[in-house]
Each structure stands twice: as C-alpha cells, then as structure tokens.
Amino acid sequence: MLLDWVSFRVPLASFSQDQIIRLRQLTDRIVRFCPRTGDVRYETCAWESIRSDSHQISFQVGSSDLRIQGSPARVCGDGDAVFGAGASSALDLVGCLQSMAGYASKVLEVILPKNTDIYTVTRVDVTGNLYLQGLSAVRDALRILRDCEGGRYRVSQQAGDSVYWSHLSRLRSGKAYAKGPHLEYLANSPKYSGRKYSADELEQSNNLLRLELKLGREFFSRNDWKLMNPDFFKQQWTNYFDRMIGDSEMKNDSDVKTRIFAVAPSEGRAKSAYGCWLLIQSEGWERAQESFARPTWYRHLKVLRQAGLGDADLSSGKVVPLRRRIFEAQVIHSWADLSNAA
C-alpha cells in the first residue's frame, strides 16, 4: 500500500515578506476584469507545476497560504508510482509532507518550515494493489465493482478500465482501475521522464487491480491529521473496500439464511433481515429500500452486512461468485512481491 497523493497548505505568515514576493513572482495570475471600465473584479495565482515530468508536484499561492499538492511517491526513492518507496510506501504522512516540502524548497529556492504541525492537510489518497491472475481477471473484477452500489457509495463514473464511487464527495471517494494499461500509457507518453519500467514489469502490472481511497477536505475538517498513523490509513482503506466486496465465506445464496440467523441479535431480527434480503432479490435494491422506514432499512442492512453480504451482492440481489476472488486477492507491496506472485 502507499500514500499516492497529498494536498496541504503552509501559512504565509511563516515566510518572510521577501519570500512571499518571490513565491508570487513564480506564478501566473488569473484575472477577471470589466472590459468596459478595466476594473479588476478578481485576481488569483494559478497552479504551477514545480516538477520535471518525473515529479507530480504543483503549488499555488493563496491569500494566506502556500498550497502544495501531488504524489509523494514521485519524490521518494526512485519515483515509482506503482508501489512507492520510503514514507509513501510506509503510509507515513509526516514523512510524505517532509519529502514534498523538501523538494518544493529546493526547486522554489524558498525554505519551507520544517515544523509540519503548522501545515493543514486537505487531501490524502490511500492506494492498494491487488494481485489477480491476468488482465482478463482484473476486468472481470471491474465488471463486478461497476454494479457495486449501496448506501452512500454510489457508482458515479465509468471510464474504460476504471470505476469511480462518489467522485464529487469531499469526505470519501473511491476508484478502481486496471493498473497495467494505465502504466503502459504513462510509460509510453512522449513527455514522461520518470522511472523506467522494464518490459517484464509492464507485463506483470496487468495482474494488478488498483483500489484508491481519497480522503477529502471534509474528512480532514472532522479529523486531526496529526493523529493519523499507518494503521489508521490501512483501516480506512480496508473498511471502505471490504464493505463493497463482502465476506469470502459467503459462497452462494444457500449460505445467506444460515449466516443471517447466526449473526442477528435475535430470531425476530434475523427473520426480518432475511425478509429484506428476499425483497431485494425479487424487487431490486431501490424498490426494496422504498418499502421500509429509513431506520428499519439500515437496521436490516447492518445485519445483512454482518452476515457477509457486500454491496456487490446487495446491488445485484444475489451472491456474486467472482467477488470471492477479489476478497481473497493478495495485496502486493513491491515489484518483488509481484514477481513472486506471478
């Protein structure tokens, strides 16, 4: 796993006036003005890249802060965007901030404060690579995930070998895609000058299903980033995607009733939850939801999910056979792991 994207802000009050002037001189200006009078209605700094094509780091100077965003994986180790290195692969947010700030300081020739406690984090992407046997298996998994909706997690976009959930959410959003085609496109881009991938690595990457969880601005307004350690990010990623896929022990429809009665707090709750499942099967997710009061619906869903049903099952109204392969897929952490798995 790795931290694949980080956005943060540094207060301009921590810089000297000369440094602030220099930063503003490094960026283009976006201006809105009245053509009749020439009055400037709005003016701001544009986002500027501070990278060669091997580094995805950009910055913007706001009215009160310096905003930096990009992939810490590109400035840690050899710049591997698949598995990352150093702080990125260790899920070390403080280390990622330090690496990105250090890189920005060097390129911008303006020293950023070393005390990261004054930074404001506004986005972190937590990413994992699952090993499946071949690109066809990865695409089979994506077809399952395209139908995976439930509760607040709605499939919001589908594009080629990618599936998105709640992509406009400022709290949490998800993405799944085939890493192999994406990496091949990146590596063959004329402007790309990052880490060079061998033919074997490009071929092996076709076995990877990439799952990305974006924790957005609203998430960090509710949670103190300074309390977030690697285990926290692993748990956030696991909770988000496991809910969609469900329990690997749920193999077919015949297991459903047994598991529901095993996990429900009472026989009455079990019967009600199982009745809800039968209604989902016969009428579909949306019509079944309309048949219950909101508290009752979510009470039944809680039991169904505890029984091992994932959103993929609930959306389709049946236990999806292939989702067992996704649940049991090995999380790959390095090129060595991938080579051994293949």
For the record, the structure tokens of 303 come out as: 């039991």
Q: What is the pLDDT of residue 35?
A: 80
- The residue length of the chain stands at 342
HSE-CB at 147 with a 13 A cutoff on CA atoms is 18
- Looking up tokens 């890189």 gives 103
| Beta bridge partner(s), residue 126 | 3, 213
- Looking up tokens 């976006």 gives 30
Kindly report, residue by residue over 212-223, the tens digit of the pLDDT.
999 999 999 999
The residue type of 251 is: K
| Residues in the chain, pLDDT under 70 | 42-43, 50-55, 147-160, 244-253, 316, 318-328
Q: What is the pLDDT of residue 192?
A: 75
Q: What is the pLDDT of residue 245?
A: 66
Kindly report, residue by residue over 8-39, the tens digit of the pLDDT.
999 999 999 999 888 888 877 777 778 888 77
Q: How far apart are CA 308 and CA 255, in angstroms?
A: 10
For the record, the structure tokens of 272 come out as: 């009600």
| Beta bridge partner(s), residue 125 | 5, 214
Kindly report, residue by residue over 227-273, the tens digit of the pLDDT.
999 999 999 998 888 776 655 455 566 778 888 999 999 999 999 99
Q: What is the pLDDT of residue 268?
A: 93
For the record, the structure tokens of 131 come out as: 């090993």
For the record, the structure tokens of 83 come out as: 């598995």
Closest to 3 (Cα-Cα) out of 102, 105, 74: 74
Whether the CB-CB separation of 249 and 319 falls below 8 Å is answered with no
Q: How far apart are CA 185 and CA 321, in angstroms?
A: 31
Q: What is the pLDDT of residue 53?
A: 42
Residue 244's φ and ψ, nearest 5 degrees, are: -75, -40
For the record, the structure tokens of 180 come out as: 């192999």
Q: Which residues contact 184 (CB under 8 A, 6 or more apart)?
A: 202, 205
For the record, the structure tokens of 206 come out as: 């076709």
Going by the DSSP 8-state scheme, the letter that residue 76 receives in this structure is: S
Q: At what angle do helices 253-263 and 294-306 cross, to 10 degrees?
A: 110
Q: What is the pLDDT of residue 201?
A: 93
The residue type of 296 is: T
pTM for this model (two decimals): 0.78
